[in-house]
Amino acid sequence: MREVRPRIDKEMNIGEVLEKYPQARKVFQKHFGEGCFNCPGSRLESIQFGALMHNKDVNAILKDLNATIQ
């Protein structure tokens, strides 16, 4: 039987990811900047929406996030 690894996807919200994987903070900071954590909406917005608002590649963010939690 193959081991199922945790996986972060673009529909997950930033707050949910940070709560479950505190180490993901560095990835969000790298891609979105420190201001991301002062924004009240960041806890409710999806990773995809955050990437859109910051004009970032969601796939690059997901790659970094998933590498961080492995």
> Residue 18's closest CA among 9, 26, 7, 10?
26
How far is CA 10 from each of CA 1, 2, 46, rounded to the nearest angstrom? 27, 24, 7
Instruction: End-to-end CA distance of the chain: give it in Å, rounded.
Output: 19
Domain that holds residue 60: 14-69
- Note the pLDDT of residue 1: 61
For residue 22, tell me if it sits in a domain: yes
Distance between CA 3 and CA 26 in Å, rounded? 26
Structural domain count, the chain: 1
For residue 21, tell me if it sits in a domain: yes
> Residue 15's closest CA among 35, 43, 48?
43
For residue 7, tell me if it sits in a domain: no
pLDDT in tens, 35-61: 777 777 778 899 999 999 999 999 999
